[in-house]
C-alpha cells in the first residue's frame, strides 16, 4: 500500500531591475495610443439626478410546500396580521402553513420617477423557505431611506433557477430563494427633480481625473463659444446655466452630454491574490526588468509494508497450557499467529529545478511581462508576487491595487 503526501510546492522568484536584453513584444496586444474617444454622458453623471434604493417586507403565497417552517415565527405572525386586515382572526400558535414565505422586496427608484410608472423588483426569502418557485407576492409597500412609501409591489415571481430532489439526490441550479417580478411595482410618490431651478449644472466624473475634468470644461467652452464651464477638481465640472444662453436646462444637459472627447485611461493594475486574477491597462509601462524564476518542490512519500511480529513467551495464564502473549497484551493459543502490522517507511524527495529567466527592454508593458512569465512556467500567484516586487523596486509606472 502506497500513499503520497505533497507537503509543499513553493515557487521562489527574484527580481533585478536594470538589465537590458529583449523579449519579443506581443504584437498588437494593445494599441499604441491607449486614449479613446468617449461621450460625456458615458463618463459623467449630473449631480442631483440619481437612483434611490427602495426596500419592503411582504409575504409570498402559493408555494408547493416549500415555504417557511413553523419555527419561523415572524412568518406566522405576518400571516395572522394580513388575515386580520381581511376580517379573519386566527391564532398564530395553531397555524401550520408551508405554502407561505416571508420575503424582503427591493427595487431601484429611477430619477424623474412619476406616479404610475412601473419598476422591476427583486424578492428574497427571509426565513427557511426551500424555494419560492410558483409563488405570488402579496401587495407590499416599498420604503425609501427617509421611511416614506414610494411604491407598491405585487405579482407572480419569476425564478432564474430551480431546486429538485432531496438529500444526496438534490439538484439545484442558481438560488431558488431569490426571484424577480418584472414591472412588479408601481410608483406612488412623485420624486422628479425640478431642473428649472438649477443655476449651476454640476457634472461628476465616474473616474476622477484632473486631465479629463479639464478636457470636459474645455470642450464645453469650445462648444458654446464662451467660458461657461469650470473644472473645480478631479471629479466635478460646473456649468453656468445663465451664461450658456440655453433655452432650458434639459437642452443644455443634452447638448453637453453629446460632446465627445479623449479619455485618458489611468495606468493601473488590479490583482486578486486569492484567485490569482490580474487586470491591467495597456498603457502600463515598465523599466528595464529581468526576472529569474526557479522552483523548489518537496515531496514526502510514505510507504507501508506488512511485518509479522514475533510472539513473546510468558508464563501461561490461568490453565491454558502453552499460551503466549501478543505485543498488544492479548493471550493467544499456541500455533496462532497475530495479525500483521503495517510499518511506515518515509522517503523525502527534493527537486530544485534550474532557474528560468526572461528580460524586457525599456518601454515594455505588463502584457509582455505576463506573457513572458507564463512562458517560463510561472503560475498566476507567482505573477502577483512578481508584480508586487517590481512595484516595490520602482520599476513599474502604475498604481498596483491588491484585493
Q: Is the pLDDT of residue 305 over 90?
A: no
Sign of the Cα pseudo-torsion (166, 170, 171, 173, in order): positive
CB 150 within 8 A of CB 187: yes
Q: Is the pLDDT of residue 13 over 50?
A: no
Q: For the ranges 105-109, 111-115, 302-306, which has the lowest average pLDDT?
A: 302-306
Domain regions of the chain by residue span: 5-33+269-297+353-402, 38-47+194-263, 52-187
d(CA 232, CA 344): 74
Give the pLDDT confidence score for residue 394 in this predicted structure: 74
Give the pairing of strands 178-187 and 118-125. antiparallel
Q: Where do the H-state alpha helices sit in 105-229? A: 210-224
pLDDT digits (tens, 9 = 90+) for 112-127: 889 999 999 999 999 8
**Closest Cα partner for 220 from 270, 263, 254, 185?**
254
Q: For the ranges 84-93, 142-151, 214-223, 251-260, which has the lowest average pLDDT?
A: 84-93
The single-letter DSSP state of residue 269 is E
**Angle 249-257/210-224 helices, nearest 10 degrees?**
120
pLDDT digits (tens, 9 = 90+) for 216-273: 999 999 999 999 999 999 999 999 999 998 899 999 999 999 999 988 777 788 887 7
69's CB contacts (< 8 A; 6+ apart) are: 98, 127, 128
Q: Is the pLDDT of residue 336 over 80?
A: no
The single-letter DSSP state of residue 158 is B
Give the pLDDT confidence score for residue 265 in this predicted structure: 75
204's CB contacts (< 8 A; 6+ apart) are: 44, 45, 46, 47, 235, 236
Kindly state the average pLDDT of the residues 297-301: 57
d(CA 66, CA 172): 14
d(CA 125, CA 139): 16
Residue 306 backbone phi and psi in degrees, to 5: -85, 130
Residue recorded with cell 503495517: 342
d(CA 38, CA 216): 11
In the chain, pLDDT over 70 holds for what percent of residues?
A: 68
Cell of 70: 413553523
d(CA 150, CA 320): 93
Residue 269: exposed, middle, or buried by beta-carbon count in 10 A (0-12, 13-18, 19+)? Answer: buried
Amino acid at each position: 500500500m502506497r500513499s503520497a503526501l505533497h507537503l509543499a510546492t513553493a515557487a521562489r522568484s527574484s527580481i533585478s531591475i536594470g538589465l537590458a536584453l529583449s523579449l519579443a513584444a506581443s504584437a498588437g496586444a494593445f494599441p499604441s495610443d491607449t486614449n479613446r474617444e468617449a461621450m460625456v454622458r458615458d463618463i459623467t453623471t449630473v449631480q442631483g439626478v440619481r437612483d434611490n434604493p427602495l426596500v419592503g417586507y411582504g409575504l409570498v403565497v402559493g408555494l408547493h410546500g416549500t415555504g417557511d417552517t413553523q419555527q419561523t415565527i415572524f412568518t406566522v405572525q405576518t400571516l395572522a396580521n394580513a388575515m386580520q386586515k381581511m376580517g379573519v382572526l386566527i391564532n398564530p400558535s395553531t397555524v401550520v402553513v408551508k405554502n407561505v414565505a416571508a420575503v424582503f422586496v427591493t427595487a431601484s427608484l429611477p430619477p424623474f420617477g412619476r406616479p404610475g410608472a412601473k419598476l422591476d423588483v427583486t424578492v428574497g426569502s427571509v426565513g427557511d423557505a426551500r424555494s419560492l418557485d410558483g409563488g405570488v407576492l402579496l401587495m407590499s409597500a416599498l420604503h425609501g431611506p427617509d421611511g416614506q412609501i414610494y411604491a407598491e409591489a405585487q405579482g407572480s415571481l419569476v425564478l432564474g433557477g430551480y431546486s429538485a430532489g432531496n438529500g444526496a439526490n438534490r439538484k439545484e441550479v442558481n438560488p431558488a430563494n431569490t426571484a424577480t417580478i418584472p414591472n412588479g411595482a408601481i410608483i406612488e410618490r412623485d420624486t422628479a427633480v425640478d431642473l428649472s431651478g438649477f443655476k449651476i449644472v454640476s457634472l461628476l466624473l465616474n473616474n476622477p481625473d484632473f486631465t479629463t475634468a479639464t478636457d470636459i470644461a474645455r470642450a464645453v467652452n469650445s462648444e458654446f463659444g464662451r467660458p461657461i464651464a469650470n473644472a473645480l477638481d478631479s471629479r466635478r465640472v460646473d456649468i453656468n446655466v445663465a451664461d450658456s444662453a440655453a433655452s432650458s436646462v434639459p437642452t443644455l444637459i443634452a447638448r453637453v452630454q453629446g460632446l465627445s472627447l479623449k479619455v485618458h485611461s489611468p495606468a493601473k493594475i488590479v490583482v486578486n491574490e486569492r484567485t490569482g486574477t490580474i487586470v491591467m491597462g495597456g498603457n502600463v509601462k515598465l523599466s528595464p526588468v529581468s526576472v529569474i524564476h526557479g522552483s523548489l518542490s518537496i515531496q514526502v512519500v510514505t510507504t507501508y509494508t506488512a511485518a509479522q511480529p514475533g510472539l513473546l513467551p510468558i508464563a501461561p495464564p490461568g490453565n491454558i497450557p502453552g499460551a503466549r502473549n501478543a505485543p498488544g497484551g492479548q493471550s493467544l493459543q499456541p500455533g496462532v499467529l497475530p495479525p500483521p502490522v503495517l510499518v511506515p517507511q518515509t522517503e523525502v524527495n527534493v527537486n530544485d529545478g534550474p532557474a528560468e529567466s526572461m528580460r524586457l527592454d525599456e518601454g515594455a508593458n505588463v502584457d509582455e511581462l505576463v506573457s513572458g512569465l507564463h512562458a517560463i512556467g510561472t503560475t498566476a500567484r507567482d505573477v502577483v508576487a512578481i508584480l508586487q516586487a517590481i512595484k516595490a523596486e520602482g520599476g513599474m509606472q502604475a498604481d498596483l491595487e491588491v484585493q
